[in-house]
Amino acid sequence: MLSRVAERIYWTARYLERAENTARLVNVYSKMLLDLPGGVDIGWYNLVTLNSAEQLFGQKFKRRDERNVIRFLLADPDFSGSVLTSLKMIRENIRTTRDALPAEAWEQANESTLFATSRLDEGLRRGDRYEYLDGIIRCCQQLSGLLDTTMRRDAGWEFFRLGRNLERADMTSRLLDAGASMLQEHPGREEPLNLVQIVCGNVLRSASAYQPYRRVIKGPVRSRLVVRFLLEDELFPRSVAHCIDQMIDAAGALPRQRRVLKLLKCERKQIFAELDEEKLEHDLRDYLNSLQLQLADFHRAFSHNWFALEQPGDT
Amino acid sequence: MTIDWKQYNPGDFYDELISTPGHPRAPARRLVSYLGSLTADEMEARRITAEATIQEMGVSFTVYTDEGNIDRCWPFDIVPRVIDKKLWDVAAAGLKQRLQALNLFIDDLYHEQKIVRDKVLPRHILDESQNFRPECVGFSPPCGVWAHICGTDLIRDRDGRFYVLEDNLRVPSGVSYMLENRAITKRVLPEMFDSYRILPVDDYPDKLYDTLAAISPRHQREPVMAVLTPGIFNSAYFEHAFLAQQLGAELVEGSDLLVGENDCVYMRTIDGLEQVDVIYRRIDDLFLDPEVFRRDSVLGVPGLMRAWKAGNVALANAPGAGVADDKVVYAFVPDIIKYYLDQDPILENVQTYLCDDPKQREHVLKNIDSLVIKPANESGGYGMLIGPHATEKERREFAARIRKNPRNYIAQPTISLSTAPTVTDRGKVEPRHLDLRPFVLQGLDLEVTTGGLTRVAMCKGSLVVNSSQGGGSKDTWIVDRKGD
């Protein structure tokens, strides 16, 4: 398989996750807003920080308010994490790899883009936002499900899994970060007691993890347990551990995988070895940040190994 | 209601199926009577079947519009064109003869230029050629062949004889549609394949494979081949993908390839870099290698010419082959055949006046209102003047251009393309003009497609057969009537 084709399939998967998860991320914030007691200010701009997009945002908007942040996250053409940009990238990548993907994927990608563009106004209005975001998530899941049930399990599929799980792990860490940043802004005894409850509940729900958490943990929602669940539960498909295991599995099925596989396995151990109570309590945001850097390293390893070959002998 | 063949009147053009109203030509007799037995509803049902088949098979071409590029379905007419094998055999021999001579000609131009020294081709015509590539001088490609794949446009004049209109030696396209047209017709008119001996066309991909394998620098059992495409936005992208698939070759873009320090070409695959032996390139010379030709080309591969000249990769067609794809050189092809092969040309050219020659130029300027003026190096019908349809002002402008740059223009009489019955409305047929593009291959052997791609001008009276300008196509049957 040509590196270019593999890379485009990989990015199709990444953007598909990205579109869905950006929608989830905006959803958490919007819902928390509904749940929080009056007078608790919510830092919309955190969503920009979480996506490491401060600079780009600064070039476009002065006011860091809800309206601008939402517009930026849903529709900004230059922000590669915006829902519309992600959907357009999915469409372009599928368009140029049509031979390697099921034919219906192209139609589904077109429909998704059409939905997201034509009903954007609803997403920008607070009142209709939930439905819009829900629609986006559904579109993504439809395409995802289509590929899941129709793609041949060849190298293309493994690259799809690599991209999907890398992006998903990354976005799960950002969802946690979103919660953590919210709690950090309101460190507080003076705050109503249920703030932790509200934030954690919404983080779980936005990752579709509320019920699984309840079933596994069988206890109240506590921030530390929520973090551990979303990081460590090997059986929950959006947990970081599960995503890394999936990447290990996918890489294992690809040619010339030795170095990548070694890196993935080695870092998997490292990532969870570092996770002690101290970290969970005080340095969670630093920990999540370094986790994101580690995931970026995985991407570089994939790219170097399979996509961007430069000289003969450069294997 | 059925087709009333007595009402079908091609006028004074040569019609492929009907000689005079109500009288089909001998090879077409069974087809004509079969079509005549179908009701309008049945005809319409066949047409719908064809349309559905085309959509199912995804046969498309790309049209450029303001709203982006759209894949259009391939316009296809269900009434085939029928040509007798005996007649075709002569044309095929002529096509082979022509390509063989052209390849000797190109090879000579890049070596000793004997034909110029012997004054058969005037020196200044070569000097002013836009498609001569000095970078290729002295190079000897495998098998001595420069143009491996040639698409020759044939037309039939009022006398019913085949004439060569032009030789496309750069990146001729259309062969995939020829193959698809046959596949469609087998579904639409299956009965006819019992009552005729229609020669098959589907061996083309195998012959193309053999041609390309013959020029591979590494003599291994299965050379690594790639089809180099400018990408999805090219109007012939469907064909590039189709041929790659048929050849078992990778469909690559420039960025998929790289040239190593050892001057070998590699493609980037997930298994690592894989050396490529033969590249069937579907991009123009000038975009091939930014190190040598256009520096701003992002379609090509830096170092590709180096690798080619080192003999580490074969390119089909070879860079520089386009020197013979020039409307002025075209006028000399009969002389070229005579010079290199010492044979009379089997296929004739359309009469051509060289504006470069003072006497012929005078004739052209005097008769500009009845001639077609063509620039020497354009393709796709750009920059032409059709004398009889032009305004006085346009003619004056063109005359000035000819005087200013005579080497750049040729003139031909307005040609009367032959016609064939074409479905125009529910169950109705009318004559429409058409041409024929057979594909000729030269590697170790010379091969010609059985027939070729018939292109039809779908609008009444139109002579424009290009698919981008409302042209369609038909299946082309070469029928063997021996023993009938």
Tens-place pLDDT, residues B210-254: 999 999 999 877 899 999 999 888 888 889 988 998 998 999 999
Looking at residue B354, its pLDDT comes to 92
A·B CB contacts under 8 A: 57
Question: Percent of chain B having pLDDT more than 70?
Answer: 95
Q: How confident is the model at residue A50 (pLDDT cuts 50, 70, 90)?
A: confident
CA B40 to chain centre: 34
If asked whether residues B247 and B299 sit together in one domain, one would say: yes
B318 domain residue, yes or no: no
Residue among B250, B266, B271 whose CB faces A312 most closely = B266
* SS3 state of residue B476: strand
For chain A, give the percent of residues with pLDDT over 70.
94
With a cut of 70, say whether residue B59 has pLDDT above it.
Answer: no
What DSSP state is assigned to residue B222?
Answer: S
How confident is the model at residue A248, as a pLDDT? 98
What's the CATH code of the domain at B275? 3.40.50.11290
B263 CB within 8 Å of a chain A CB? no
| Count of structural domains, chain A | 1
> In this complex, do A306 and B270 lie within 8 Å of one another by their Cβ atoms?
yes
Is residue B453 scored above 60 in pLDDT? yes
* Domain count of the fold of chain B: 3
Say whether A3 and B250 touch across the interface (CB within 8 A). no
A192 vs B30, more confident = B30
**CB under 8 Å to B439, separation ≥6 — which residues?**
B149, B150, B151, B152, B172, B174, B175, B178, B204, B448, B449, B452, B453
Answer with the residue of higher pLDDT: B382 or B279: B279
* Mean pLDDT value across residues B39-67: 77
**Residue A156 to residue A68: CA distance in whole angstroms:** 38
pLDDT of residue A224: 86
- Judgement on whether residues B372 and B427 belong to the same structural domain of the protein: no
On whether residue B320 sits in a domain, the answer given is: no
pLDDT in tens, B104-159: 999 999 999 999 999 999 998 899 888 999 999 999 999 999 999 999 999 999 99
Q: What is the mean pLDDT of residues B340-365?
A: 94
For residue B369, the enclosing domain spans 353-413
Number of Cα atoms under 13 Å in the Cβ half of residue A262: 4
Residue bearing the bigger pLDDT, B338 or B461: B338
Domain check: are B426 and B346 in the same one?
Answer: yes
For residue A189, pLDDT over 50 is answered with no
Taking CB atoms and an 8 Å limit, are B252 and A155 in contact across chains? no
pTM: 0.83
Specify whether B89 is located in the same domain as B190. yes
Residue B290 and residue B368 in one domain? no
Distances (CA, A) of B410 to B352, B374, B385: 7, 5, 11
pLDDT grade for B61, boundaries at 50, 70 and 90: low
Mean predicted confidence (pLDDT) in A52-65: 93
In chain B, residues with a C-beta closer than 8 Å to the C-beta of A1 are 269-271
Displacement of CA B256 from its chain's centroid (Å) = 28
Same domain, B255 and B344: no
Q: Are residues B282 and B344 in the same domain?
A: no
Whether the CB of B255 is below 8 Å from some CB of chain A: the reply is yes
> CB–CB of B135/B479 below 8 Å?
no
Residue A84 lies in a domain: yes
Residue A315 lies in a domain: no
B465 located within any domain: yes
Residues of A with CB under 8 A from a CB of B: 1-4, 6, 95-96, 99, 103, 155, 159, 254-256, 306-312, 314-315
List the single residue in A with minimal CA-CA distance to B256.
A4
Specify if B210 maps to a domain. Answer: no
Retrieve residue B239's tokens. Answer: 């064909």
Chain B hits for A103, CB-CB cut-off 8 Å, are: 58
Confidence of residue A315 (pLDDT cuts 50, 70, 90): very low
> Does a structural domain hold residue B437?
yes
Which residue in B229, B268, B299, B313 has the most chain A C-beta atoms within 10 A of its own C-beta, making it the best mutation to test that interface? Answer: B268
Element (H, E) at B178: helix B175-188
Quick one: which of B140, B108, B147 has its CA closest to B126?
B108
Q: Does residue B129 share a domain with residue B52?
A: yes
B66 has pLDDT over 50: no
Q: What percent of chain B has pLDDT over 90?
A: 71
Question: Do B187 and B89 share a structural domain?
Answer: yes
Quick one: pLDDT band at residue A138, thresholds 50, 70, 90?
A: very high
User: What's the CATH code of the domain at B397?
Assistant: 3.30.1490.270
Pairwise CA distance, residues B85 & B478, whole Å: 5
The residue written with tokens 């041609």 in the block is B211
> Of B232, B252, B264, which is closest to A2 when you measure between CB atoms?
B252
* pLDDT of res. B72: 63
- The arithmetic mean of pLDDT across residues B283-310, rounded, is 92
Residue A314 is assigned to a structural domain of this protein: no
Give the residue from A101, A41, A9, A28 showing the smallest Cα distance to A70. Answer: A28
The answer to whether residue B43 sits within a structural domain is yes
Average pLDDT across chain B, whole number: 91
Domain co-membership, B373 together with B441? no
Q: Answer yes or no: is pLDDT of A187 > 70.
A: no
Cβ proximity of B345 and B337 under 8 Å? yes
**Cβ B254 vs Cβ B288: under 8 Å:** no
pLDDT at B478: 97
Whether B344 and B360 share a structural domain: no
Structural domain harbouring A173? 3-307
Mean pLDDT of A165-192: 79
Q: How confident is the model at residue A25 (pLDDT cuts 50, 70, 90)?
A: confident
* Whether residue B53 is found in the same domain as residue B188: yes
* Averaged confidence pLDDT in chain A: 89
pLDDT in tens, A118-134: 999 999 988 899 999 99
Residue A124 included in any domain: yes
- Residue A313, in any domain of the structure: no
- What is this model's ipTM? 0.80
Does residue B208 belong to any structural domain of this protein? no
Q: Give tens-digit pLDDT for A229-262.
A: 999 999 999 999 999 999 999 999 999 999 999 9
The answer to whether residue B213 sits within a structural domain is no
For residue A92, give the chain B residue with the closest CA: B232
β-pairing, B314-316 vs B278-281, is: parallel
Chain A residues in contact with B58 by the CB 8 A cut-off are 103
Give residue-wise pLDDT tens across range B182-193: 999 999 999 999
Q: What pLDDT, on the 0 to 100 scale, is given for residue B67?
A: 47
Instruction: Please report the DSSP string for B150-176 in residue order.
Output: EEEEEEE-TT--EEEEEEE-SS---HH
